[in-house]
Structure 1
Amino acid sequence: MPLELVDDCRLALGEGVVWDSRAERLYWIGIADRQVRWLDQDGGKPGALHLDTRPGTLAPYRDGRVLLAVESGFALLDTADGTLEPVAAVEADRPERRMNDGKCDPYGRLVAGTMTLDDPRVGGPLYRLEYDGDGTARVVTLREGMLIPNGLDWPEPDQLWHIDTPTRAIRLFDYPEHGPLADPVRTLDVSALGGDPDGMTLDAEGNLWVAFWGGAAVRCLSPEGRVLETVELPTGKVTSCAFGGPALDVLYVTTAGGGEPGADDGAGSLYRYPGLTTGRPARHWAGPGF
């Protein structure tokens, strides 16, 4: 089946698409647009909330709310009424930085990094939201020196694939349940491919599906780095991808650039491509009960 346009939302920076298998709802965000958007499986009209802060990533929570990484930390959003409840601060004294892409680890803890808005050469940490035994939220540093921390996923509970976009590389780390990341154990150099690696997801076989900013494509890579498949998009700034639908057999793709001069190619819209393969269910945030 061909690529399909799902929502012609024309976001300046569409990102963070994720399928909530419990609610049967697809979420994605507009970072610069300060939006959280969603589409229910019943095919109704897409919903949207406008925020007072820029969201960097989103993870479903068991009570129907969603956990966001926003400009100055982590916060819970109730999409029913727009209430945003702070959970933990991250670099709240650094207005020149914001949180970026992230995902829940195999233990249900959200991992996300920060980036410097005006100078991506200034590195920041990759963080993980954890809880102490008394239920107090704390933010721990997994690794320093990330430039633009982006796509990530876990092929096994003790392994993590991670993209730091300006390096044009995808790195595999050993992932301890506690403590920081050591040096990568494998690096996939994708600099010869068009565009820069951005968001990513894994399929059921462990292959990497990577959105390429400036590359007008999502590419499927084997764990050894071979290009297995390419999904071409009508617009260049492809930002994130995730498998969704009840059978996890639909690839959803976000894009950016809506509202830019000459952006008449569907930039900033949400797309889907059914029937490619099957993905893995997104992990929900475990919350303070972890």
Structure 2
Amino acid sequence: MSTTPIWFVTGASQGLGLALVQHLLSLGYRVAATSRRLGSLEQTLGPASADFLPLQVDLAADHDVRRAVDAAVAHFGGLDVVVNNAGYGIGGSVEELTDAETRAAFDVNVFGTINVIRHALPHLRAAGAGHIINVSSIAARAGATGWAIYGATKAAVSVLTEVLAQDVAAFGIRATVVEPGGFRTNFLSADSLALPQQPLDAYADVRASHARYLQLHGQQGGDPAKAAAAIVQLAQEPNPPVHLLLGQDALNRAQTKLDALQQELNAWRGLSESTGFDAH
């Protein structure tokens, strides 16, 4: 039986997911890769083989995710690393985005991740090993104007991973949240981003923020191939971190947020401490 690692990667037809799967296959790893469209996977990565299993999956549909995970286990004989990479950007103020648009973002970015974890865990527990890597965003730690719902979905993924790491440690399973900054993919293209269908004139700062981010498309500082290599290295570490930021911009934004948070903690410490019961 082959001992090469078995990876399960969602959102593999483009961007960071595609770069990761290409890198894994070049290393001789076995990979199950998912996308909403099977044709896009096969066109880019080729048909199913002994080392590669393309899967069309609706991540928001729990039964569909279970089918995909079971298919991967049946094809390869197990799972070693699960990467929840699928997701998309959604911009707009809370007031501008409809209930349906907001819930759709949570369905893919959050519940899709949860669905995969739910169905992968029994296999990882049975093996007594494994690594779950959830791709979040620096927006989870340091949000930007006009991206409240996106930031909220990624914050959910980050905190989910932090607690998941505690819940599964006793089974020999590790969990890491990867929080990238800007990488040169199509993430910021006008065709990829979900923006308000009926923007409100009152939100001038939101419009300006969206314009700045759209102008960054194709100019992001991060190299997807290097991010893929970093994720593979992460999975090889005997004691991987629970958090991994990718990109100098992510580090800078995180540090700025930490500094601001520390200032607020200090400034409002008195009011925070005033809410306890009196000693006498």
TM-score, normalised to structure 2, is 0.31
In terms of fraction of residues, the more helix-rich structure is 2
In terms of fraction of residues, the more strand-rich structure is 1
TM-score, normalised to structure 1, is 0.30
Structure label with greater radius of gyration: 2
